[in-house]
Amino acid sequence: MKYFRNLILIETNESSIQKGSKEIFQALKKELMNKDLTDEINVLETGSLGLFGEGVCAVVYPDNIVYCNLTLDDIPELIEEHFVKGRVLTRLVMKKTVRNDIPLGYEKRIVLKNSGVINPENINDYLGVQGYEAWEHALLKKKPEEIVEIVKASGLRGRGGAGFPCGLKWSFTSSIESENKHVVINADEGEPGTFKDRLIMEGDPHKLLEGTMITSYAVGAHTAYIYIRGEYKLCIERLQKAIKQAYDYGLLGKNIFDTGYNLDVYLRIGAGAYVCGEETALIESMEGNRGNPRNKPPYPGQAGFQQYPTVVNNVETVTNIPSIILKGADWYKNIGTPESPGTKVFTILGDVDVPGLCEVEMGTTLRTIINRYGGGMKQGSRFKAALVVEQQVYSSLMRCSM
Amino acid sequence: MYKDICQKYTPTKDNLIYILHDIQDSHPQNYVSEEAVEEVADYLKIPVNHIYGVLTFYTMYSTKPRGKYVIRLCESPPCYLRGSTNILKKLKELLKIKAGETTTNGLFTLELCACLGLCGNAPVMMINNDFYGDLNDGKVENIINKLQETEV
């Protein structure tokens, strides 16, 4: 194995790509080659660092320095200063103090722990951060019922908006005897201003996949579908890669880890319909119909996709599962509030100083989110209103002239 | 002529959405034609009107020919708050069409769409598969001009 002196991670997601992150990635590689540094310094792409409005960002490890607003012209200087002379190029260092210790340590991250830290397109990176350990542990050491009990005890609630207890939902389906069961992951995120699921999928697709696998095993399903909206091109691309890698490594497919358990995961792509975020409409869409919601009952847990029992979970919900399995229900229960344990991913936008992404403990007030994580209001702006969408997922602050 | 696309999928109804996606992407005018619908109906053994119902339900499909570049401008609140209406005005002015129409040279179609999930860069638009964010009048003009130039 090769060791590198420094690791540069370039943020690549849909927002940074249109600001030129792909070109900057190439330019960095080229410059390192010119300076003959490719054996010492590695440059990789990673998920969101949680900063918006700061242009193309990159983080340098182990120094843990975040550079922002990078342009192609900066690259030679950056390489020369930081990597040849060993001086931090202060001109480009992230100035806003509130988040100068990102991406590690500031927030309590579970779901987004690896986003901005690993290369989402490489399964080995994920394996290096205890990836798929929970899957192995679940499959080899636990019975499906035990996993349902752990998740029940953890108190994890659905992150799609309704907040239904996840373990309870699973228990409805796991107790049914059926020749066929399905798991569907709802990644049809369409609420205006909400894009946490996109950032999760772009930043750490393998974690979603691992959560999906454990969910399927727990409820006794042998097929799982991830339904993504058609507009999320990068998510689709990264998840396709992740699924392929998981098959190649024998984490999916037939007789996984010689346990006799089979599981296939498929991607399903939406075609542009907001209502398909509703679980029964989503199932209709998967069956090749118009996305009209069904009458309930029966609930999908009893009769869902192709009338088989189907568990439908949100992306963020299942991304919590691997950590719960590894660290236990008690650990999870101690985070957040007693009624709603765990963390929640927020996107903060509008006239705040540092628009961005954060993952905070449940029970954190809107004031803290805006003032601490959003850096407070922009200079010259006064707080007027917050638009909080889908259970406090998004807050937008309207400008108020002074 | 759509046989090859159909046969990539097993003939079950749940593949309808994907077949339609592929057909639309393969067509230079970015739409699903009547003959394509009939071929798919034949292949999947489902009624034409079911397919038509699906096509008109989802916003990403079109049953009318569209331009080479389909511009989809977000009209959700986060973009609205940051001036998407001005961008729409600018686009209409530049292309001399209304929302939902295609330019006479067959290059551009202007559409409005729901949140694209790039609110950190509002206002945002998507042209075919690419996103363009932090739009202002000048930027929009540049983007359209560049696309127009590549076509000359």
Highest mean pLDDT among A18-22, A82-86, B55-59: B55-59
* Residue, of A380 and A304, whose pLDDT is higher: A304
Q: With an 8 Å Cβ cutoff, are A349 and B122 in contact?
A: yes
* Structure tokens that stand for A274 in this block: 């907001």
| Angle, CA A135 vertex, CA A133 and CA A137 arms, to 5° | 70
CATH superfamily of B69-151: Glutaredoxin (3.40.30.10)
Lowest pLDDT segment from A28-32, A99-103, A154-158: A99-103
* Alpha carbons within 13 A on the beta-carbon side of A230: 24
pLDDT at B54: 96
Residue A18 binned pLDDT confidence (cut-offs 50, 70, 90)? confident
Say how far apart CA A101 and CA B151 lie, in whole Å: 47
The 3 state secondary structure assigned to chain B is CCHHHHCCCCCCHHHHHHHHHHHHHHCCCCCCCHHHHHHHHHHHCCCHHHHHHHHHHCCCCCCCCCCCEEEEEECCHHHHHCCHHHHHHHHHHHHCCCCCCECCCCCEEEEEECCCCCHHHCCCEEECCEEECCCCHHHHHHHHHHHHHHHC
Q: What is the mean pLDDT of residues B22-42?
A: 95
Burial class (CB in 10 A: 0-12, 13-18, 19+), B151: exposed
Residue A379 binned pLDDT confidence (cut-offs 50, 70, 90)? confident
pLDDT at A392: 37
pLDDT at B103: 96
Give the total residue count for chain B.
Answer: 152
Q: What is the mean pLDDT of residues B103-112?
A: 95
pLDDT at A255: 96
On chain A, the residues whose CB falls within 8 A of the CB of B15 are 288
* Structure tokens that stand for B101 in this block: 């129409």
Domains within chain A, CATH numbers bracketed:
6-99 (3.40.30.10), 123-333 (3.40.50.11540), 343-397 (3.10.20.600)
Lowest pLDDT segment from A80-84, A131-135, A282-286: A80-84
> Which pLDDT tens digit goes with each residue over B52-91?
999 999 999 999 999 999 999 999 888 998 899 999 999 9
The 3 state secondary structure assigned to chain A is CCCCCEEEEEECCHHHHCCCHHHHHHHHHHHHHHCCCCCCEEEEEECCCCECCCCCCEEEECCCEEECCCCCCHHHHHHHHHHHHCCCCHHHECCCHHHCCCCCCCCCCCCCCCCCCCCCCCHHHHHCCCCCHHHHHHHHHCCHHHHHHHHHHHCCECCCCCCCEHHHHHHHHHCCCCCCCEEEEEECCCCCCCCHHHHHHHHCHHHHHHHHHHHHHHHCCCEEEEEECCCCHHHHHHHHHHHHHHHHCCCCEEEECCCCEEEEEEEEECCCCHHHHCHHHHHHHHCCCCCCCCCCCCCCCCCCHHHCCEEEEEHHHHHHHHHHHHHCHHHHHCCECCCCECEEEEEEEECECCCEEEEEECCCCHHHHHHHHCCCECCCCCCCCEEEECCCCEEEECCCCC
pLDDT at A399: 37
Q: What is the mean pLDDT of residues A31-50?
A: 87
Share of chain B above pLDDT 90, in %: 84
- Enumerate the domain spans of chain B: 3-57, 69-151
* Facing A288 at nearest CB: one of B15, B77, B122: B15
pLDDT greater than 90 at residue A382: no
Say how far apart CA B43 and CA B27 lie, in whole Å: 19
> Which pLDDT tens digit goes with each residue over A313-326?
999 999 999 999 99
pLDDT greater than 60 at residue A64: yes
Interface of A with B (CB under 8 A): 14-15, 17-19, 52-53, 189-195, 198, 230-233, 268-274, 285-291, 306, 347, 349-350, 355-356, 387, 394, 396, 398
> Which pLDDT tens digit goes with each residue over A181-217?
999 999 998 888 888 899 899 999 999 999 999 999 9
* Nearest chain A residue (CA) to B57: A290
Nearest by Cα to A314 from A213, A221, A199, A188: A188
* Structure tokens that stand for A21 in this block: 């992150």
From B121's Cα to the closest Cα of chain A, the distance in A is: 7
* Alpha carbons within 13 A on the beta-carbon side of B98: 0
Share of chain A above pLDDT 90, in %: 56
* Residue, of A133 and A401, whose pLDDT is higher: A133
pLDDT at A98: 45
Residue A100 binned pLDDT confidence (cut-offs 50, 70, 90)? very low
pLDDT at A389: 66
ipTM metric: 0.93
Mean pLDDT, chain A, as a whole number?
Answer: 88
Specify whether the CB–CB gap between B101 and B65 falls below 8 A: no
pLDDT greater than 80 at residue A245: yes
Interface test with B, best of A289, A292, A348, A373 (most B CBs within 10 A): A289
pLDDT greater than 70 at residue A99: no
Q: What is the mean pLDDT of residues A170-174?
A: 96
pLDDT greater than 70 at residue A101: no
Q: With an 8 Å Cβ cutoff, are A15 and B118 in contact?
A: yes
Specify whether the CB–CB gap between B100 and B148 falls below 8 A: no
Specify whether the CB–CB gap between A123 and A245 falls below 8 A: yes
For the sheet containing A182-187, what is the strand order?
A: A253-256, A261-269, A223-228, A182-187, A310-314
> Which pLDDT tens digit goes with each residue over A117-151?
889 999 999 999 999 999 999 999 999 999 999 99
pLDDT at B125: 95
Q: Output the CA–CA distances (angstroms, integers) from residue A144 to A147, A166, A260, in the order listed.
A: 5, 14, 14
First to last CA, chain B: 30
B143 touches chain A (CB under 8 A): no
